[in-house]
């Protein structure tokens, strides 16, 4: 007679041992990192894209991105002032929004398209929902979709 394989023994799971743990994000990085540090990391990650864009589109890309960054910083200051909050310009979120928006716009777009896109990105997509961290969608992409 052949012996039938035995099923693997299942050890009882204690009800005291949690199977999952719930923690706030980010899960892979140190949670004590500042917002400014994370935004600097995003800007470093966008640097190669900006370099390639400068190679391909020359100074037009720099003008577009620069205008978007400055516009986003101005609208961030205006929105923070209207809400009576301190200026959050140094956290880097407006600069990240400006770089992403500037890289997504065509190099031949007129200057006012960049300014309108920045106003919508910061004013409508970011500050209407409460500021940094409360936005429903990526502010730069809302500005891009609007224009």
Task: Give helix 35-57 / helix 59-82 axis angle, nearest 10°.
Answer: 150
pLDDT at residue 35, as a whole number = 82
Find, among 44, 27, 25, the residue nearest to 133 by Cα: 25
Q: How confident is the model at residue 26 (pLDDT cuts 50, 70, 90)?
A: low
Per residue in 52-69, pLDDT tens?
999 999 999 999 999 999
Look up the pTM and report it: 0.77
Residue 31: what pLDDT?
59
| Dist CA 19 CA 47 (whole Å) | 40
């Amino acid at each position: 007679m052949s012996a039938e394989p035995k099923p693997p023994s299942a050890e009882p799971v204690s009800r005291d041992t949690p199977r999952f743990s719930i923690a706030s994000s980010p899960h892979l990085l140190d949670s004590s990192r500042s917002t400014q540090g994370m935004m600097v990391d995003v800007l470093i990650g966008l640097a190669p894209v900006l370099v390639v864009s400068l190679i391909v589109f020359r100074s037009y890309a720099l003008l577009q991105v620069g205008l978007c960054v400055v516009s986003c910083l101005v609208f961030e200051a205006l929105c923070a002032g209207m809400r009576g909050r301190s200026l959050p310009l140094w956290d880097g979120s407006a600069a990240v929004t400006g770089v992403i928006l500037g890289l997504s716009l065509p190099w031949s777009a007129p200057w006012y398209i960049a300014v309108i896109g920045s106003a919508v990105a910061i004013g409508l997509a970011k500050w209407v929902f409460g500021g940094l961290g409360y936005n429903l969608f990526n502010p730069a992409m809302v500005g891009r979709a609007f224009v």
